Structure 1
Amino acid sequence: MGRIRYGLWWLDQATTGPRSRVRAVGDGAATVGRELRWATELSVRSTVAGIDHVRPEPWGDRKLLVLVTVIAVGALAVALVLGVGMARWAMTLSNAMPFAAVGALAVGLAFLPLAYLVFVSKRRGRRS
């Protein structure tokens, strides 16, 4: 047996344990991945089926008032946090835009419920 073949045989024997552990971890990860894909597929199917059966109804004045009040309080809290953060940012850091970008995202997310209110209150035609 030559030195190269002996070296390869020795390397194979020395790495048998780690290779089997890596293979076991890989098999476990593949199993977990298949389960997650299956759970995600079931969740998407049930969500799509649920969306197909939803029939929104116009909300009453009291429910709309409560929702708008909650949105207003949340928007006030977001504005307060953004105002304090922007003031600190303007005083200390020049050219730091991530805070401003996050603030713009937060304001956009605050307007999403208002857009939902506009479209949920529309009356739809009868479905059969």
Structure 2
Amino acid sequence: MAVATQQALGVSRRPLRVGRIRYGLWWLDRTTAGVRGRARVLAGGAAAAGRELAWAAELSLRTTTRRAELARPEPWSDRKLLVSAMVLAVCALAVATVLGAGMARWAMTESNSLLFAAAGAPAVGLVFLSLAYLVFASKRGCR
């Protein structure tokens, strides 16, 4: 039908001669068109999700810093300081007991106790951070 249409319209162009390399590239392009299209759609979706996550992280950071600037903590009473110091002491004793048992097992070269040794530094750090907060909270109360 294409030949009849071309003859009726007076089109007498002959197709261009295409080499093997060009034909191979054209065939590869036509064969992988669907895969590339799907990959492009997936990459676009991933990029959009990444932009949304970055925007959400930026908003969260802005909000957190703004709230930290506006925070005006009030001094704690002696009773509240005593109760929080007691709770912190009990938590520190529990952490020290668990860490002591884990370190004792680790010193005896038991293979399953490395988790206790690895968790020791963050646990002690959290206890010291809480203690530092109590110290500074009590200083505000002295004014």
Alpha-carbon deviation of 1:99? 5.2
> Under a length normalisation based on structure 2, what TM-score does the superposition of the two structures give?
0.73
- Percent identity between matched residues is 66
For the pair 1:61 / 2:69, whether they are aligned, the reply is: no
CA distance in 2, matches of 1:123, 1:80: 32
Q: Matched residues in 2 for 1:106 and 1:70: separation?
A: 15
TM-superposition CA deviations, 1:82-128 (whole Å, max 9, x none):
1121122111259x98754531232122110110111122239xxxx
Q: Distance in 2 between matches of 1:99 and 1:19?
A: 49
* Counterpart in the other structure of 1:122: 139
Partner residue of 2:109?
A: 92
**Residues 1-128 of structure 1 mapped to structure 2, 5 A cutoff:** 1-92=18-109, 100-123=117-140
Aligned residues between the structures: 123
Note closer, same or farther for the CA distance 1:49–1:17 as it changes in structure 2 (3 Å cut).
Answer: same
Q: Structure 2: how far apart are the matches of 1:105 and 1:56?
A: 26
SS of the aligned residue for 2:139 comes to coil
Distance 1:89 1:69 in 2: 30
Q: Secondary structure, in 3 states, of the residue corresponding to 1:103?
A: helix
Q: Which runs of 5+ in 1 are unaligned?
A: none
Higher gyration radius (CA): 2
Flag the structure with more relative contact order, 1 or 2, with Cα contacts below 8 A and sequence separation at least 6.
Answer: 1
CA distance in 1, matches of 2:98, 2:31: 59
Equivalent-residue separation in structure 1 for 2:90 and 2:36 (angstroms): 58
Moved more, 110-119 or 58-67: 58-67
The answer to whether the Cα contact below 8 Å between 1:71 and 1:113 also exists between their aligned partners in 2 is yes
Q: 2:88, 2:130 within 8 Å by CA — same for their partners in 1?
A: yes
Distance in 1 between residues matched to 2:27 and 2:97, nearest whole Å: 67
Q: Normalised by the size of structure 1, how large is the TM-score? A: 0.81
What 5-or-longer segments of structure 2 have no aligned partner? 1-17
- The Cα RMSD (Å) is 2.3
